Amino acid sequence: MNKTALITGASTGIGRELAKIHAQRGGNLVIVARSTDKLNRLKEELEAEYNVSVYVISKDLIKLESSKEVYDEVKSAGIEIDYLINNAGFGGLGKFHERKFEEDLAMISLNIVALAALTHLYLPDFVKRGSGRVLNVSSTASLMAGPLQAVYFATKAFVTSFSNAISEELSGTGVTVTSLMPGATKTDFGKVSGLDKTPLFDNLFSAYGVAKDGYEGMLAGELDVITGVSAMQKIMFKAVPFVPKSIVLKQTRKLQETKK
């Protein structure tokens, strides 16, 4: 039987690559994003190439009611979800007190509230069935605080902590939760957030490579998947807890300062 994956933020970047990887393996899809045109093009592409079924939901998950609307629509369509992939999210560069709070509030709504809401809606179904996979796309940003991206880093810290905690709660149920923590990745994220003009985005990893590692980690039921980082960066992340926090904060800020 084909597994069906629900993927948010599926129109571009890591989400799009996750959809393609799942389709390549014969899986059906429910793809969710704001852009109807991009979703429909992806649907046509995947159905034609891989002979799978792709159901499109155009929805702005920033709106509080949207997660329940997605869940209800999928139920009404008679589609059973096997893999829930919470990928939708965005960031924003600048000092917290100088940014528009409405933008940060929207970020919290998408990065945290929508992710938690969809997870809360689907977990009872997964647990009752005794099977299911959840992949929550976090970031290596979750491993530290992020001056000039204070809210984004904090939202990703929530995603990783939340994912790890409920993974343990679900032990023995047949349901797993995986946190995907990529480094700087070649997607629209850098351009939209303004980070494409910072040293942090000097060396980008492919969205396909990140998606593949995350997908494989999800299937294996891994707790955390850190990918899209160099060997030196991996060493640095492991050293973070042992370095004075003030030094880590200063270095992180430098990486996110716009080049002159």
Q: Which residues are catalytic?
A: 152
| Cβ 176 vs Cβ 78: under 8 Å | no
From its phi and psi, is residue 63 left (phi > 0), alpha (psi between -120 and 50) or beta?
beta
Distance separating the N- and C-terminal Cα atoms of the chain: 55
Residues with Cβ within 8 Å of 16's Cβ and at least 6 positions away in sequence, in order, are: 10, 42, 207
Give the CB-side neighbour count of residue 55, counting CA atoms within 13 A.
Answer: 19
| Cβ 97 vs Cβ 148: under 8 Å | no
Strands 205-206 and 185-186, sheet pairing: parallel
Residue 132 β-bridge partners = 175
In a 3-state reduction of DSSP, which class is residue 36? helix
Alpha-carbon distances, residue 236 vs 207, 219, 227, 230 (angstroms): 22, 27, 14, 10
Residue 188's nearest CA partner among 172, 204, 212 is 204
Instruction: Kindly calculate the radius of gyration of the chain based on its CA atoms and give it in whole angstroms.
Output: 18
Phi then psi for 176, rounded to 5 degrees?
-125, 155
